[in-house]
């Protein structure tokens, strides 16, 4: 006989996760859009007045960093709800049970290796478009 309560609990858990996933996705999208707006704001301010007080622009840059950290944390949460981890090398989403990335073959961090969610590297822009920053990098 199937355990009704267990089935019920699982279904409730799945529904809760689905809500959390869509909330996180919505919040990430919001932050991504804000980042693009802040970048535009920085550009506009500099264009209008290249002598602009650098402190003003710095505040905006720090705002971008704060949002990027938020996105990084939310993506981490999102992936743990969905049972994924992100390959540190190629950014692919991989089942968290795997030890190696199926896309590039890199070794994946173990669960007990703490990921520093406050660190940002140059690849962590997380804007909705991957080539938003492509002008930054020269491709050969």
Sole binder of Zn ion in the list 60, 106, 117, 120 (CB under 5 A)? 106
Dihedrals φ, ψ of 138, to 5°? -85, 125
Query: Does 40 participate in binding Zn ion (rule CB under 5 A)?
Result: no
* Contact with Zn ion (CB under 5 A) among 42, 64, 86, 87: 87
Q: Which is nearer to Zn ion, 13 or 105 (CB)?
A: 105
Among residues 89, 129, 134, 137, which is the contact residue for Zn ion, using CB under 5 A?
A: 89
61 closest CA partner among 75, 49, 43, 48? 43
The Cα 32–Cα 75 span in angstroms is 12
| Residue 95 binds Zn ion, judged by CB under 5 A | no
Nearer to Zn ion, 74 or 87 (CB): 87
Q: Is 87 exposed, middle or buried (0-12, 13-18, 19+ CB in 10 A)?
A: buried
Tell me the β-bridge partners of 15. Answer: none
Contact residues for Zn ion, defined by CB under 5 A? 87, 89-90, 92, 101, 103-104, 106
């Amino acid at each position: 006989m199937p355990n009704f309560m267990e089935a019920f609990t699982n279904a409730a858990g799945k529904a809760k996760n689905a809500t959390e996933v869509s909330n996180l996705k919505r919040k990430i999208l919001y932050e991504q859009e804000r980042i693009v707006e802040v970048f535009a704001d920085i550009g506009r301010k500099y264009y209008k007045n290249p002598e602009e007080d650098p402190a003003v622009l710095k505040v905006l840059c720090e705002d971008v960093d704060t949002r990027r950290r938020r996105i990084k944390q939310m993506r981490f949460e999102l992936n743990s709800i969905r049972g994924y981890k992100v390959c540190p090398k190629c950014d692919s989403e991989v089942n968290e049970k795997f030890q190696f990335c199926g896309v590039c073959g890199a070794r994946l961090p173990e669960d007990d290796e703490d990921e520093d969610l406050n660190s940002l590297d140059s690849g962590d822009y997380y804007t909705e478009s991957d080539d938003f920053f492509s002008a930054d990098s020269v491709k050969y």
